[in-house]
Structure 1
Amino acid sequence: MPTTDACGQGVQIAALTDAPNMETLANNLAVGLVPRSVMRFASASARNATLSSPTAGMTAFLIAEKLLTVYDGTAWTVVAAGTSAWSTIPLASGFSHNGNSNGTAQYRIVNLFGELTVMLQGGIDISYSGSPAVISNGGIITSTALPSAARPGSLRTVPASCSAVTSDSLSLKLDAQPDGHLRIVGTTASTATERITPPWISLSGLLYSL
């Protein structure tokens, strides 16, 4: 009768006393080795449809998402993300790129400690209108929403550094909204007791989880 491999992985190996059967031999090797290799699927949905009862340790690469995933016994978790190029954030009227010479405002999706995360970089110039001064577009800097892959499941608020010119604060809040828009929060009228109308905000080094 067949024995199992010496590494304790449960791969069946035909014994010399077994009746010759190439189909059984090939099937035993495929069934034993494929689930223990890095499997490849077109997408997460294709993986889930094929591996309806995964076992802990299974590893699968998702082509569409560019993610390497491992089943931990409870759920599929991301262990690595493929190359993710920077994408320029589309800005609404009243905002422009390269604030404080920080470069174009951009985002990309990365894998941080097994969790998909959006990384930001660049700077944004901010314009105000009226008297007292009011930030453009209600503080929403995006002209169109970021793609669904970059939208958090719930509101994510992170601090962002800003100019001290015409501002008594060195930071504002940046809200990453579930609808895919980014919004600057915390400006006040220039005539208020505390002036917070900075001409630029930096996105460099900001992260928010998905």
Structure 2
Amino acid sequence: MATDTFGQGVPITLLTDGPNANTLASGIVQALAQRSVMRFSSGSARAATLTAPVGGMVAWLDDARRLELYDGAAWLTLAYGAPGWTTLGLVSGYSHDGNSNGTVQWRVTTLAGQDFVQWRGGLNVSYSGSSIANGGYFNSSFLPTSARPSSLRTVSIGCSVASSDSPTLKLDAQVSGDLQIVGTQAGRTPPWVSLNGVMYSL
């Protein structure tokens, strides 16, 4: 029995091999299955089946809706299946659709094998004098564990230049799952901020 000319180890029955339809079919199926996109109900189901994965294997996980690649040491995420957007609950002092930018929503997505949280929408912001509502914390509940960064992520966010001497503020995404607008002060109290296009790694 020979193998394919691409060096992938797919067996090819020769005319000199003894006739055995089961060996022929099994050899081809077993070789090609592990080189295709394998499908599993979950990561644990995959681990139970692939006890010794090989670098280059690709698998789809139904429960996480995620495509992963084994790099020889670990399974890395390649892509998510059309991740849906989740609307963020807000505390008093904040409301959705700041500057007609839409409802504030987030989702976890993947770029070059790295998970990111992606944001869209705008926030209306209120103040007491020059003090931002709730100290700048605006989400009514913590982000789920799957959307919390491993360390503090500080990114720039756009804001209104009305009542502000700066067109940007900071967003602190905290490991606790809390979100805080940072940088407001006297002379910098914009009535809205935009989260459109904001991303940070997990």
Instruction: Report the TM-score, using the length of structure 1 for normalisation.
Output: 0.87
Match for residue 165 of structure 1 among 144, 162, 166: 162
Deviates further, 34-43 or 46-55: 46-55
2:149 aligns with one of 148, 152, 158: 152
Q: CA RMSD in A?
A: 1.8
Q: Residues 38-49 of structure 1: matches in 2 within 5 Å?
A: 38-49=37-48
Q: What is the identity percentage for the equivalent residue pairs of Structure 1 and Structure 2?
A: 53
Shift of 1:29: 2.1
2:116 is the counterpart of 1:95: no
Return closer, same or farther for 1:181/1:49 CA change in 2, 3 Å cut-off.
Answer: farther
Cα deviation 1:114-150 (Å, max 9, x = unaligned): 2221111111011122xx5322222111001222222
Runs in 1 of length 4+ with deviation above 6 angstroms? none
SS at match of 2:69: strand
Runs of 5+ in structure 1 lacking a partner? none
Once residues 38 and 52 of structure 1 are traced to their aligned partners in structure 2, the CA distance between those partners, rounded to angstroms, is 17
Letter in 1 for 2:153: R
Partner of 1:196: 188
User: Is the 8 Å Cα contact of residues 130 and 184 (structure 2) preserved in structure 1?
Assistant: no
Q: 2:34 is paired with a residue of what secondary structure?
A: helix
Shift of 1:77: 2.0
2:116 matched residue in structure 1: 117
- Three-state SS of the structure 2 residue aligned to 1:68 is strand
1: CA distance between counterparts of 2:165 and 2:45? 53
Deviation of residue 201 (structure 1)?
0.7
Q: CA deviation at 1:28?
A: 1.8
Consecutive unaligned residues in structure 2, runs of 5 or more: none
